[in-house]
């Protein structure tokens, strides 16, 4: 079966002194870039155990094989992780964690279906963790691998790394200086085609379903990235809806602007509004982000920054065009 997306063929992979980069990297500073791994001891706290933490750097062409070998160390129950840049006005990163454990086979099936995106797209970080025994494998946006394991499993991980031709390096020798990151340029890697999955929002919708992911934030409070209370803020969302009583895999979409004091309050407001009409039912929130009042559209110019109540200002359903999420 063909994947529900296509990787662009009009771009070439960057290679520096034999070191291959993901397609999402358009240009890099002059190398050399060194392969290998470092290992550190990290003390835990609370429910997090003490771990050995491995930081691994290797050329792109060997990345898939290493990850597959590491995945074989996972137990039967795991939880997925997604990290990506945020459109939200009050945080820079969106982190999605498993609401509940899923089977490792389920995680791996979805990984296989979207592996090319995971390995090539530099706007996305993806990982997996498990509690019994504790283990985490995380592929960051720059496609470097971090592995956390309990002390008794250090030798297992080192055996996998050695089998993949990687040797231990001194701490810090594999890190790219922060000043060098400023010179790295990135690009999109997916073909833009309305019949295909062609952006990260579409992928995230699928992963939220397959891996039971939820946004790592308090749904009942409105906090910024530093944990400060924001009170009521302006929200913008694209909401997936379908006609009530109609069984279909397709969706229509609604554009929403509202003021609310938490994500949960806003979601309840949307459900109440749909229930009043009885014509549409909520399927999911495609996007949902807070917006600074200075960035509100002209239609909301009269809305004051400290709006006195939670309220939906705009809820427009496009019932003439089916909204294709690419894959589900």
**Residue-level pLDDT at 130:** 96
Q: Shortest CA distance to 289 belongs to which of 42, 17, 45, 88?
A: 88
Q: Which residues contact 148 (CB under 8 A, 6 or more apart)?
A: 42, 51, 52, 53, 54, 129, 134, 135, 136
**Is the CB of residue 289 less than 8 Å from the CB of residue 282?**
no
**Is the CB of residue 326 less than 8 Å from the CB of residue 5?**
yes
Name the 3-class secondary structure at 94: strand
153-156 long-range CB contacts below 8 Å, 24 or more apart? 153/52, 153/73, 154/39, 154/52, 156/73
**Residue-level pLDDT at 134:** 94
**Residue-level pLDDT at 172:** 78
Q: Count other Cβ atoms within 10 Å, centred on residue 9.
A: 7
The DSSP 8-state label assigned to residue 123 in this structure reads T
**Residue-level pLDDT at 31:** 66
Burial (0-12, 13-18, 19+ Cβ within 10 Å), 108: middle
**Is the CB of residue 328 less than 8 Å from the CB of residue 206?**
yes
Q: What is the DSSP string of 111-143?
A: HHHHHHHHHH-TTEEEEEEEETTEEEEEE-TT-
Phi, psi dihedrals of residue 293, rounded to the nearest 5°: -60, -30
- pLDDT digit string (tens) for the chain, length 328 residues: 688 999 999 999 999 889 999 999 998 876 668 899 999 999 988 778 899 999 999 999 999 999 999 999 999 999 999 999 999 999 999 999 999 999 999 999 999 999 999 999 999 999 999 998 899 999 999 999 999 999 999 999 999 999 999 999 987 788 776 666 667 899 999 999 989 999 999 999 999 999 999 999 999 999 999 999 999 999 999 999 988 876 666 678 999 999 999 999 999 999 999 988 778 889 999 999 999 999 999 999 999 888 999 999 999 998 655 545 444 4
Cα within 13 Å of Cα(189), Cβ side: 22
**Is the CB of residue 234 less than 8 Å from the CB of residue 292?**
yes
Q: Which residues contact 280 (CB under 8 A, 6 or more apart)?
A: 241, 242, 243, 244, 252, 254, 274, 317
* Encoded tokens for 224: 């910024």
Phi, psi dihedrals of residue 155, rounded to the nearest 5°: -65, -35
Q: Where are the alpha helices (DSSP H) in 164-199?
A: 178-181
CA 305 to chain centre: 30
**Residue-level pLDDT at 277:** 79
Q: What's the Rg (C-alpha) of the chain?
A: 22
Q: Tell me the three-class secondary structure of 39-55, residue by residue.
A: EEEECCECCECCEEEEE
Q: Shortest CA distance to 160 belongs to which of 171, 176, 149, 170?
A: 149
* Encoded tokens for 249: 């895999």
The DSSP 8-state label assigned to residue 89 in this structure reads T
**Angle, CA 93 vertex, CA 128 and CA 173 arms, to 5°:** 65
CA 313 to chain centre: 29
């Amino acid at each position: 079966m063909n994947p529900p997306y296509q990787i662009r063929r009009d771009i070439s992979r960057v290679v520096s002194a034999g070191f291959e980069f993901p397609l999402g990297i358009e240009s890099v500073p002059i190398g050399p870039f060194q392969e290998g791994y470092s290992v550190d001891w990290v003390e835990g706290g609370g429910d997090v155990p003490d771990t050995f933490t491995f930081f691994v750097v290797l050329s792109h062409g060997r990345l898939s094989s290493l990850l597959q070998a590491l995945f074989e160390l996972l137990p039967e129950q795991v939880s997925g992780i997604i990290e990506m840049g945020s459109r939200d006005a009050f945080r820079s990163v969106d982190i999605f964690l498993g609401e509940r454990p899923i089977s490792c086979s389920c995680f791996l099936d979805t990984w296989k279906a979207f592996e090319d995106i995971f390995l090539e797209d530099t706007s996305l970080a993806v990982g997996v963790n498990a509690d019994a025994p504790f283990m985490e494998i995380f592929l960051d946006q720059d496609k470097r691998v971090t592995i956390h394991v309990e002390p008794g499993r250090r030798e297992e991980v080192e055996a996998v790394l050695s089998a993949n031709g990687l040797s231990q390096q001194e701490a810090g020798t594999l890190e790219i200086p922060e000043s060098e990151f400023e010179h790295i340029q990135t690009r999109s890697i997916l073909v833009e085609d309305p019949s295909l999955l062609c952006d990260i929002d579409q992928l995230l919708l699928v992963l939220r379903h397959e891996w039971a992911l939820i946004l790592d934030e308090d749904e009942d409070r409105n906090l910024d990235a530093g944990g400060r209370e924001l009170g009521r803020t302006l929200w913008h969302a694209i909401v997936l809806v379908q006609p009530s009583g109609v069984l279909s895999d397709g969706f229509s979409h609604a554009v929403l602007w509202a003021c609310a004091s938490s994500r949960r309050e806003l979601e309840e407001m949307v459900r109440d509004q749909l229930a009043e009409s009885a014509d549409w039912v909520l399927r999911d929130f495609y996007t949902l982000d807070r917006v600074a009042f200075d960035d509100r559209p002209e239609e909301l110019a009269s809305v004051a920054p400290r709006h006195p109540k939670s309220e939906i200002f705009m809820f427009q359903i496009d019932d003439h065009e089916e909204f294709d999420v690419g894959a589900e």
